[in-house]
Structure 1
Amino acid sequence: MYRNTSTPADDNGCGWFHLSPPRTPRPAHSGRSQARWAVLGAGFTGLAAARQLALKFPHDEIVLIEGQQVGFGASGRNSGFAIDLPHDIGAPDYIGDLATARMNLKLNHFAQAQIRALVAEHGIDCQIRPDGKYQAAVEDKGLAVLAAYRSGLDKLDQPYEMIDARDLPEHLGTSFYRQALYTPGTMLLQPAALARGLADSLPSNVSLYEHTVITRLEQGEKITLHHANGQIVADELLLCNNAFASHFGFLPGRLLPIFTYASMTRPLTEAEQQRLGGKPTWGIIPADPFGTTLRRTPDQRLLVRNSFSFNASGQAQQKFLDRAERQHRASFERRFPMLPDVSFDYTWGGAMCLSRNHLSYFGSLAPRVHAALCCNGLGITRGTATGTLLANWLTGERNELTDFLLASPGPNRNPPEPLLSVGVNLNLNWGQRRAGLEA
């Protein structure tokens, strides 16, 4: 038996969640239920896995369990980049091993195709746009990263455009950056709206329970999931809850819940939009991994995302949120001096599940317990792909993508506590300081 040592507890400030189309959450589970399949975690991974299981086994009931509301947790708190390209922040050129990069590219393209098809089929209103992304730099070391990334894209034979400082305001409005590398394949979207739309379009044989926090997991001839108001008994369990899997005793000491933080402005007035200039929507990721991510949304808000903390519990902490909001204001003012009176409507934090070696977990953890965990900052595409492929694999279907995922050694081991928390937070603080103007 495994007792859950931590439960989801995100802050209530996520702009994506509050601005997404309204929906009625599904009721929490109560009593005792039985099903062939249970999926724990209704983020992008769990939603994809539950959907695919339902399509493969139309006569089976699939139970999908979410501790909060769909879209309120990590899947609804990212910056909305469905990235196509390999994004290995541990490699100098973001590409790394070429054969691995090509497989990751195929995984991301597979996920993008899934998302586009589902959005079109179900009319999901999630502001999806094929805008691409800008990776932008202002420091010399950032320029060096762009040059290295360019060389990696050449090896992969992927399209890009290098844009110099004099031309960037035409694209982005701001003249803050010295150079940007534009790649056209990224889709930009509203992540909470996508997650909520996917939840409301699940096949009829998926039973979704929200606000259902599993407190114990019991293994035997079947898997029994205990919560405050009952039990769910399943033949097979799929763990799609990222770092929270370690709180059930799986992959202990291997998963890192790293929180990053975002603020979103009020909508810009027409006069402010004219002062800003540039394209009406865009997304910027920083050359330095510790730098600032930016979005200009279709409803003309600006999003600023930076600052990091390691919260071992996976739960939000107000002190980090307050610190991040101050950093967001400073970052905003450096980039948008033409918008001095634009306030933030929302500030929030959200967890990424990272590993020290930047590898994910895919496969079986124990008899009748299977998992797709640790997206390493690419939750929209990686989660969609691995959730779908995990379900396919459990039906006996394999292909080169499945074999690629199964061959991974998975996340490596972290140092023990308290060294881990001290070391990770020191490293995060040092990385943010070292980022300089990129932050």
Structure 2
Amino acid sequence: MKTIKHLPQDNKQCGWFHTSPQRTPKPALQGNLSARFVVIGAGFTGLAAARQLAKRFPNDEIVLVEAQEVGFGTAGRNSGFVIDLPHDIGAADYIGDITIARKTLQLQQQAQQLITDLVHEHHIDCGLEHAGKYQCAVEPKGIRVLEAYQRGLERLGQDYTWLAQEELQQHIGMHFYQKALYTPGTLLIQPSAFVKGAADALPSNVSLYEHTAITSVDYGSKITLGHAYGHIVADKLVLANNGFASSFGFLQGRLLPVFTYASMTRPLNEDEQAALGGKSTWGIIPADPFGSTLRRTADQRLIVRNSMSFNPNGKCSDAQLKTAYQRHVQSYQRRFPMLKDVTFEYTWGGAMCLSRNHMPFFGQLAPNVYGSLCCNGLGTTRGTMGGHLLANWLAGDEDEMIAFLLGSEQPCANPPQPFLSMGVNFNLMLGQQRAGMEA
């Protein structure tokens, strides 16, 4: 029996969660049960896997277990970009190997379609908008990054539009950025609202249990999962819990739980909206990976996301939240001097699961144990499609996309501790300093 040492412990002030439609969470599991399939983690990946398993195995009960409340954890803490394009931050042009990039584009566009269809079919109130994204630069070095990105987009045959400062201001209101590369294919969503809605729209043969943390696991011909009030016996286990997969004994020394931080303002009043100008909603990604991501939401809040920390235990500290908040205030004041009286209402941290070689995991981890893990910052699309295709693979499918994921390089090994933490934290600190005005 293996004890699970690290459990999700996200901070309470997640703005996306608190401003999304309220729902009644499913009760925690009480007692014991058995199931053919058990999925751990009710984020983008786990919800997609459970949904598709239920469709492919309509006569079986699918058990979906979430340690916290749906929409409160990592899935509800990203910036809500559903990106179609490859976004390989390890490549100078964000595109990298063109063959892999074309497959990635196809994969992520299919994920967008799955998300769009689900929203429309079940009338999920998550502000889905075909808004595109603005990749913005402040300084010459950032503009050079965008020029490299342009060359990558041309290799991939994808549309883009250059926006200079004055024209860009008409789109986003602020005069802060010098130049932007606009790509039209990105969708924007309220991420917590989406996963809440997806959870309430699961097929009838999915049993969702929230606030049910798995505290032990015993692997054998059947898998026994312990929780606070009993155990679950599974024929097959699907891990959709990203960095926490290491606590279950898999991909140890290969995953990097890196936290990013965001702050959300109160809603802008009509005068403040007029002072800002521009479109009523938009999303900005920085030219520098360590710069600030921004959103203007449908309910007229502004979100600033920057700062990173390496937290191997899967939890951010109060000190890290305080430091991030101070950085957010500085970044906000530089960009929105016309809104100096608008204050932040929420500040939160959320974990990304990264690997050093920017590769995810998809496939079999052990006998009767499977996973779609390590989305490298693209959880909305890679997670959705990974969960969906994993279910199809377990049902016997072997299509082109499944073959692509199974044949992809896996997350590489990390250096041993304490060198890993020292190296990652040093590089994060250096990257944030070098981001300059992009931060």
Fold agreement, TM-score > 0.5: yes
Tell me which amino acid in the other structure corresponds to 1:259: F
How many angstroms does 1:177 deviate by?
Answer: 0.4
What CA deviation, in whole Å up to 9, does each residue of 1:368-389 have, x standing for no partner?
Answer: 0000000000010110000000
Task: Give the corresponding residue for 2:390.
Answer: 390
Within 2, Cα distance between the matches of 1:35 and 1:6? 25
Tell me which amino acid in the other structure corresponds to 1:124: I
How many angstroms does 1:426 deviate by?
Answer: 0.9
Task: Give the corresponding residue for 1:267.
Answer: 267
Task: Give the corresponding residue for 1:151.
Answer: 151
Q: Does 1:161 align with 2:168?
A: no
Map 1:280-299 → 2, pairs under 5 A:
280-299=280-299
Task: Give the corresponding residue for 2:171.
Answer: 171
Tell me which amino acid in the other structure corresponds to 1:257: P
How many angstroms does 1:403 deviate by?
Answer: 0.5
Task: Give the corresponding residue for 2:334.
Answer: 334
Within 2, Cα distance between the matches of 1:364 and 1:86? 25
TM norm structure 1: 0.99
Segments of 4+ moved more than 3 angstroms: none
Q: Does 1:316 align with 2:316?
A: yes
Task: Give the corresponding residue for 2:374.
Answer: 374
How many angstroms does 1:51 deviate by?
Answer: 0.2
Tell me which amino acid in the other structure corresponds to 1:201: A
The alignment partner of 1:13 has SS state of: coil
- Structure 1 window deviating more from structure 2 (281-290 vs 400-409): it is 400-409
Task: Give the corresponding residue for 1:78.
Answer: 78
Within 1, Cα distance between the matches of 2:372 and 2:3? 20
Unaligned runs of 5+ in 2: none
The alignment partner of 2:338 has SS state of: coil
Task: Give the corresponding residue for 1:130.
Answer: 130
Task: Give the corresponding residue for 2:30.
Answer: 30
How many angstroms does 1:167 deviate by?
Answer: 1.1
Map 1:35-434 → 2, pairs under 5 A:
35-434=35-434
Tell me which amino acid in the other structure corresponds to 1:253: G
Aligned-residue CA RMSD in angstroms?
0.6
Within 2, Cα distance between the matches of 1:134 and 1:37? 41
Within 1, Cα distance between the matches of 2:267 and 2:221? 55
Tell me which amino acid in the other structure corresponds to 2:32: R
How many angstroms does 1:409 deviate by?
Answer: 2.3
How many angstroms does 1:243 deviate by?
Answer: 0.3
The alignment partner of 1:167 has SS state of: helix
How many angstroms does 1:399 deviate by?
Answer: 1.0
The alignment partner of 1:136 has SS state of: strand
TM norm structure 2: 0.99
Map 1:1-16 → 2, pairs under 5 A:
1-16=1-16
Tell me which amino acid in the other structure corresponds to 1:282: W
Within 2, Cα distance between the matches of 1:339 and 1:184? 28
How many angstroms does 1:418 deviate by?
Answer: 1.1
How many angstroms does 1:316 deviate by?
Answer: 2.3
How many angstroms does 1:249 deviate by?
Answer: 1.1
How many angstroms does 1:70 deviate by?
Answer: 0.5
How many angstroms does 1:220 deviate by?
Answer: 1.3
The alignment partner of 2:37 has SS state of: strand
How many angstroms does 1:32 deviate by?
Answer: 0.9
How many angstroms does 1:429 deviate by?
Answer: 0.6
How many angstroms does 1:247 deviate by?
Answer: 1.0
What CA deviation, in whole Å up to 9, does each residue of 1:216-274 have, x standing for no partner?
Answer: 11111201101121000010000000000001110100001100000000111111111
Tell me which amino acid in the other structure corresponds to 1:26: K
The alignment partner of 1:50 has SS state of: helix
